Amino acid sequence: MLRNAAPKGVPVTDAPPTPALPLRQLGFEHLAAVLDLGHRVYDTEAMPYTGWSLSAVAGHLDAPDSACLVALDGDRVAGFVLGSVSFEQRADWGYLEWIAVDPAYQGRGVATRLVKECCVRLAAAGAVCVVTDVERRNTASAELMRRNGFTEQATVSLFVRPLVDSSRSDAAAPRRHLTRAAAERVR
């Protein structure tokens, strides 16, 4: 799943121009800042069935053909992207799963540079295409992907079946539990 960071009420339209920030391979020295940025910008309500955690990052870092990058402003992580080769049962597909840009750097082309470089590295590693997914309401991320050559191929719906009696007062528990569990993984 692409966990594009939708800004939490942060306007980005008046962002001043920024010189191109260098992109570097994500290293262990960036982990704390990447995790913190993800915690700050990912909307856990939008995708309650997944979570942001160290294991989400490690899964890509540990992949043989990872395309995990950070955009740096000095020592500050301004944004990151996590991608790797191998999507589901397709070893020849790249997977761009996570991308986030610090709200202070949004609207300055950082996300576009991260997406492009991630795709270049996945292609160099043998990927014949790159897949990603964006939550339906995350229009900013969907537009980012379209601008970078991605096209919509399928729509998937998440179905949830509560396993409690709806007449009980705690009938909403599965939804709350699902969201709480995701929030714990994301925070």
Q: How sure is the predictor about 176, in pLDDT bands with cuts at 50, 70 and 90?
A: very low
Question: Is 69:80 a contact under the CB 8 Å cutoff?
Answer: yes
- Tracing tokens 């049962």 back to the chain, one arrives at 89
Confidence tier at 38 by pLDDT (50, 70, 90): very high
DSSP designation for 21: P
Report if pTM > 0.85.
Answer: no
Overall residue count recorded for the chain in this entry: 187
Q: 124 by DSSP, 3-state: which?
A: helix
Which domains are present in the chain? 3-186 (3.40.630.30)
Kindly report, residue by residue over 71-118, the tens digit of the pLDDT.
Answer: 999 999 999 999 999 777 788 999 999 999 999 999 999 999 999 999
CA 20/CA 169 separation, integer angstroms: 54
